[in-house]
Amino acid sequence: MKSLYILLILSGLIAACQWTLEPEKELREDTIPVVETGGTSKAGYTGNQERFYTEVQARVVSLGYNTLSEYGIVYSPGANSEPTLQNATKQAATGDGREATIVTLTVTPRTGYSYRAYAINNKGMVGYGMPKTFTSIERLPVAETGDVVGKPDVNTAQIQCRVSNANEVTLREYGILYTIGNTTPTSQNGTKLIASGLTGATTTFPLTGLTPNTTYSYMAYATNSAGNTTTGSVKLFTTSSFGVAINIVGRFRQDGYSNTIQIRFSGDNVEVYGGQSGTANPDGIYTRTATNTYTYSKNSRLSITAVNTNVITWSDASGSYTFRRI
């Protein structure tokens, strides 16, 4: 009987020891995801500035015993807001989020945004990272090179430019670059003319001191407030040539002075230079008065045809005269 009692005690002790040696069951509780908001990595636009974007980063730090359902970035305009899934735009990311992932956000140009990372686990619990901010890039100006106004003269011309999207950008300056030759003008090889004002409206630039019978290249440029510069197409013009000394066939003058004058060609017109004893005068023509003397008229033009032939006919109030190239 005593032996049986001892055996029962030993069995109880063994059973107790077995119970205490069993591993303790772990308590697995659902936890909110821990995520990290990264910085911006790139900003730009696609195509002809149809869509602007900014790239930011997000990373899932911890999910506890849960699994990941979704993660990405929430963002909204305003530098002091805390965006959430309820009040902001969501851009989901791809992958498992263990490494920092780039998320591309569609944005409005030159706008401040708040953003932060988010993650949703399999229980629908949402975690957010710390809010951060960025300002999207500014839209680029569209510089347009205008045509030459009228016809270039011997040493003058007028050219135009404008900024077609001036109402969408903030301009720092715009204007024209021009240079001699058929080439792309730059501030290093040419001359820069800056428009007055920042409206981007069509502006005409008078060019002076040009070289006769010379080809020039010109193009518009525009710079926005961020310092980004765009240029328009390159266009060309050629200045007119000076004429040559000519003899007058037939009686032209009755005052005893030289019959040699100078002409120059400007498109389809001829400008006459003359003067007593061969002295050059400004642009114009000589016309005969009723007193049988010659007076000079400025800013007149002789409308003629076939200006590149050797013989030119000029008619004035006193009759017709034929000029021949020497």
Q: What are the pLDDT digits (tens) for 262-297?
A: 444 444 344 454 433 333 333 344 433 333 333 333
> What is the total count of domains within the chain?
3
Q: Is residue 3 part of a domain?
A: no
Mean local confidence (pLDDT), 158-186: 96
Residue 155: per-residue pLDDT = 87
DSSP 245-294: EEEEES---SSS----EEEEEETTEEEEE--GGG---SSEEEEE-TTS-E
Residue 49: per-residue pLDDT = 92
Q: Is residue 161 part of a domain?
A: yes
Give the span between the Cα atoms of 264 and 262, in whole angstroms. Answer: 7
Residues 185-213: b if buried by 16+ CB within 10 A, e if exposed: beeeebeebebeebebeebebebeebeee
Q: Is residue 8 part of a domain?
A: no
- pLDDT-derived band of residue 154, with 50, 70 and 90 as boundaries? confident
**Same domain, yes or no: 234 and 248:** no
Residue 203: per-residue pLDDT = 97
**Same domain, yes or no: 267 and 301:** yes
Which run of H or of E encompasses 213? Answer: none
Q: Is residue 19 part of a domain?
A: no
Residue 278: per-residue pLDDT = 34
Q: Which of 158, 168, 244 is nearest to 193 (CA)?
A: 158
**Same domain, yes or no: 93 and 160:** no
* CATH code for the domain in which residue 192 is found: 2.60.40.10
Q: Is the pLDDT of residue 260 over 50?
A: no
Of 180, 210, 238, which one is at a domain's C-terminal end? 238
Q: Is the pLDDT of residue 53 over 60?
A: yes
Of 184, 206, 238, which one is at a domain's C-terminal end? 238
Of 218, 238, 258, which one is at a domain's C-terminal end? 238
pTM of the model: 0.60
Q: Is residue 1 part of a domain?
A: no
**Same domain, yes or no: 311 and 222:** no
- pLDDT-derived band of residue 255, with 50, 70 and 90 as boundaries? very low
In terms of residue numbers, what domain contains 111? 34-135
Q: Is residue 206 part of a domain?
A: yes
Q: Determine the Cα angle at 55 with ends 51 and 60, to 5°.
A: 140
Residue 120: per-residue pLDDT = 98
More reliable by pLDDT, 31 or 312? 31
Residue 48: per-residue pLDDT = 86
CA distances from 265 to 15, 200, 269, 275, 282 (A): 123, 35, 6, 18, 14
**Same domain, yes or no: 265 and 283:** yes
**Same domain, yes or no: 168 and 230:** yes
Q: Is residue 10 part of a domain?
A: no
* Sign of the dihedral through C-alpha 236, 242, 244, 248: positive
- pLDDT-derived band of residue 13, with 50, 70 and 90 as boundaries? low
**Same domain, yes or no: 155 and 232:** yes
Q: Which of 195, 139, 140 is nearest to 162 (CA)?
A: 195
**Same domain, yes or no: 117 and 41:** yes
Indicate the range of 56-70, 126-140, 304-318 predicted with least confidence: 304-318
**Same domain, yes or no: 105 and 38:** yes
Q: Is residue 220 part of a domain?
A: yes
